[in-house]
Amino acid sequence: MNSSRLFSSLYNANLSIGRVQTPTLAMIVERDYKVKNFVKEKYYVIELDCGNFVAFSEKIEDLETATKITDDCKGKSAKVTELKKEKKTVNPPKLYDLTTLQREANRQFSFSAQQTLDATQKLYEKKLVTYPRTDSQFITDDMVSSTTALVGDIYSKLGVSDYDVDVSKVANNKKVTDHHAILPTSESLKADLSALPENEQKILKLVTLKLLCAVAKPYIYEAVTAKIECSGHDFTAKGKSVISTGWKQIETQVKSALGMKVNNNDKNEDDKSLTVTEGQTFENPTCNTLEKWTSPPKHFTEDTLLSAMETAGNKDYELLEHGSDIEKKGIGTPATRASVIETLIRKGFISREKKLILSTDKGANLIKIAPESVKSAKLTAEWETVLQNIERGKADADSFMADIESLTRSLVSENATASSEHASSFSHTPQNAQVIGKCPKCGGDVIETLKAFSCGGGKGDCKFILWKSQFYKPNALSATQAKKLLEKGKTDKIKGFVSKKTSKSYDAFLVLKSDFSVGLEF
Query: CATH number for the domain including 313?
Result: 1.10.460.10
For residue 439, being part of any structural domain is answered with: yes
Q: Contact 311/87 with Cβ under 8 angstroms?
A: no
The secondary structure element, H or E, covering residue 446 is strand 445-448
CA-based nearest residue to 482, from 515, 431, 435: 435
Q: Do 206 and 115 fall into the same domain? A: yes
- CA atoms within a 13 Å half-sphere pointing along the CA-CB vector of 114: 10
- CA atoms within a 13 Å half-sphere pointing along the CA-CB vector of 254: 24
pTM of the model: 0.73
Q: Do 137 and 190 fall into the same domain? A: yes
Contacts of 248 (CB under 8 A, 6+ apart): 90, 219
The identity of residue 331, as a single letter, is I
For residue 270, being part of any structural domain is answered with: yes
For residue 304, being part of any structural domain is answered with: no
CATH of the domain at 278: 2.70.20.10
Q: Do 286 and 314 fall into the same domain? A: no
Q: Do 163 and 72 fall into the same domain? A: no
Known catalytic residues are 131
Q: Do 110 and 77 fall into the same domain? A: no
pLDDT at 435: 84
Q: Do 248 and 189 fall into the same domain? A: no
pLDDT at 299: 96
Which residue range forms the structural domain that includes residue 390?
2-37+309-414
Please give the tally of structural domains in the chain: 4
Distances (CA, A) of 245 to 90, 91, 217, 251, 259: 10, 11, 8, 10, 21
Q: Do 407 and 503 fall into the same domain? A: no
pLDDT at 421: 83
Question: How many CB atoms neighbour CB 393 within 10 A?
Answer: 7
CATH of the domain at 195: 1.10.290.10
Sign of CA dihedral 464, 469, 473, 476: positive
The identity of residue 374, as a single letter, is V
| Mean pLDDT split into 10-residue runs, the chain, 522 residues | 89 87 95 96 96 94 95 94 95 95 93 94 97 95 96 92 91 92 95 92 95 95 96 95 92 83 56 89 94 95 93 54 48 89 91 92 93 86 86 93 92 87 67 77 83 68 83 86 92 88 86 91 90
